[in-house]
Amino acid sequence: MLSTLNAAALIGIDAIKVAVETNVSGGIPSFTVVGLPDNAIRESRERILTAIRNSGFEIPPKKITVNLAPADIRKEGTAFDLPIAIGLLGSLNLISHRFEDTLILGELALDGALRRVNGALPVAIMAGKEGIRRLILPRENAPEAAVAVSASKKEIEVYGVETLNETVALISGRGGNPPVSVDVTELFNSEPEYPVDFADIKGQGATKKALEIAAAGGHNILMVGPPGSGKTMLAKSMAGILPPLSFEESLETTKIYSVANLLEHQHPLMVTRPFRSPHHTTSNIALIGGGPTAKPGEVSLAHNGILFLDELPEFTRNALEVLRQPLEDREVTVSRISITTRYPAGFMLIAAMNPSPAGALKDREGNLTATPPQIQRYLSKISGPLLDRIDIHVDVPKVENADLFASSSAESSQTIRKRVIAARKIQHERFASSGIFTNAQMNAKQIKTFCPLDQESSAKLMDAMNSRNLSARAHDRIIKVSRTIADLDGADSIAMKHLIQAIQYRNLDRDFWSF
């Protein structure tokens, strides 16, 4: 007998509907799964049969064939365990079933218990588009799926189950827990806690201002300073001054974490911007994404948030160069023999580095801590094209003792955040019909439209480009930063003072390292 029910497969951060066709017939006893399954699905045969028997069902020796359609798309993971088991029980008439409007997924343990799976959120989004009326999945995944249902306002019932027997009872209409629901508004109303506040950081007024500008316009920033100057602490404080996630941003970020199996059970929706800080030994694949199953990397996990690269020159040259495409395109393409996947990578890059491989550029006596050739080799690890893609370069000096013992308190993150949100609001209104959200995302045409310079400012910028040998990309970055500084001032147009301040944030484009 043939039974057909709905499951789902993941392609990147999206899901597609998969028909699980199970046929039981006479012949030599066997269990075959076709339709481009991976090794985890092939191995599921023993898990499924053992779980069914341990749940109190008897499986007669029959020829069992399972087809996962469409057959030309590779299926991966363990989420097909439960739909195959339910399809098999339906084909053997061991349960009364109604599968037409139901989508099922879950991994089975040998005792019939269910374990959580990846990608419940994109699966639920797809289910709403496909007209599915009932979604059955492991209880740990139910809140995550319910978030998508609540967001789409589709009439889908999300059921969380813990065992195979509970699933059978639910499908057969013999009871079960009520559908799971999540109050999305309540999740967003919860006040996030940030580890570092700007008020906790002594001194560094100029660096704090540069970080505020970066946050207001979504600009990438590089901090250069000796060890102990507070670069890492400053980077961690950035999360507290960024504007809150919109619901659309939250949903897109949550999809990435759901697919990567990094979503916490207690937090079914990402309501704070991610902060990713990979170690400098991180491989290219871990940074950009890929591997046998083309999983998202750190640049995608930082989408709509911050990617912090500490000790920037310690990363391999190849690892730094692969950042160039996502920094420019805000997405990354991962290609493998069997699949090509696009992941969003709209992150804000914050990088930090020492001015010398020995740490500080000079010691207490004013002598260089390393030879000029050593310093040049250290700095040359960061290529010019990569530096061009970083909008703001800022010096982070050593904190003076007077600042450490000063009793006056600095501005809090909450105060700075209000100014950042006000500047972002100006940008949202400016780009309402342009498909972008921040000044950093402007292209050449939009720069010409929204960032006109008067004759005096144009002459000043040309002089800076000639004296510092700036590239065309650096020219555009300066204008974008100028526009953000003007937005923070509440100015309608870019003034000379805004432009001069933006030019000063291109330190590494000139002969900065004078020995």
| Domain membership flag for residue 178 | yes
Q: What is the rounded CA–CA span in Å between residue 145 and residue 126? A: 11
- Same domain? For 63 and 169 the reply is yes
- Same domain? For 132 and 209 the reply is no
| Domain membership flag for residue 187 | no
Asked whether 117 and 141 are in contact (CB, 8 A), the reply is yes
- Same domain? For 168 and 233 the reply is no
* H-run or E-run covering 393: strand 392-395
Q: What is the CATH number of the domain that holds 76?
A: 3.30.230.10
- Same domain? For 293 and 372 the reply is yes
- Same domain? For 227 and 335 the reply is yes
Asked whether 339 and 10 are in contact (CB, 8 A), the reply is no
- Same domain? For 162 and 264 the reply is no
The model's pLDDT over 309-326, given as tens digits with 9 standing for 90+, comes to: 999 999 998 889 889 989
Q: What is the rounded CA–CA span in Å between residue 413 and residue 417? A: 6
Taking the CA of residue 36 as centre, how many other CA atoms within 13 Å lie in the half-sphere pointing to its CB?
A: 13
- Same domain? For 252 and 398 the reply is yes
- Same domain? For 435 and 329 the reply is yes
| Domain membership flag for residue 193 | no
Q: What is the CATH number of the domain that holds 424?
A: 3.40.50.300
Q: What is the rounded CA–CA span in Å between residue 333 and residue 325? A: 9
- Same domain? For 9 and 116 the reply is yes
- Same domain? For 275 and 169 the reply is no
Paired sense of beta strands 221-224 and 392-395, if any: parallel
The angle that helices 247-259 and 120-129 make with each other, rounded to 10 degrees, is 120
Of 121, 147, 182, which residue constitutes the final position of a domain?
A: 182
| Domain membership flag for residue 348 | yes
What pLDDT is stored for residue 290 in this prediction? 80
| Domain membership flag for residue 271 | yes
| Domain membership flag for residue 420 | yes
Considering its fold, how many domains does the chain have in total?
2
Residues of the chain predicted below pLDDT 50: 511-515
With 0-12 / 13-18 / 19 or more C-beta atoms within 10 angstroms meaning exposed / middle / buried, residue 123 is buried
As beta bridge partners, residue 136 has 104, 159
Reference 274, options 211, 344, 174, 198; nearest CA is: 344
Give Cα 130 to chain centroid, integer Å: 26
Asked whether 352 and 232 are in contact (CB, 8 A), the reply is yes
- ∠ CA 242-247-251, nearest 5°, is 105
Reference 237, options 211, 256, 214, 276; nearest CA is: 211
| Domain membership flag for residue 286 | yes
- ∠ CA 383-388-392, nearest 5°, is 115
What pLDDT is stored for residue 223 in this prediction? 94
The token pair at 217 is: 């316009």
| Domain membership flag for residue 191 | no
Q: Which residues contact 297 (CB under 8 A, 6 or more apart)?
A: 285, 286, 287, 288, 289, 290, 332, 343
Strand blocks (E) in 247-372: 275-276, 289-290, 295-296, 306-309, 331-335, 340-344, 348-353
Residue 94, domain extent: 2-182
- Same domain? For 174 and 208 the reply is no
Of 119, 151, 182, which residue constitutes the final position of a domain?
A: 182
What pLDDT is stored for residue 402 in this prediction? 67
H helical segments located in 260-363 = 284-288, 298-301, 317-321, 324-329
Neighbours of 290 (CB within 10 A): 20
H helical segments located in 433-491 = 444-450, 455-468, 472-489
Of 130, 147, 182, which residue constitutes the final position of a domain?
A: 182
Q: What is the rounded CA–CA span in Å between residue 392 and residue 213? A: 9
With 0-12 / 13-18 / 19 or more C-beta atoms within 10 angstroms meaning exposed / middle / buried, residue 46 is exposed
Reference 198, options 492, 415, 388; nearest CA is: 415
- Same domain? For 302 and 338 the reply is yes
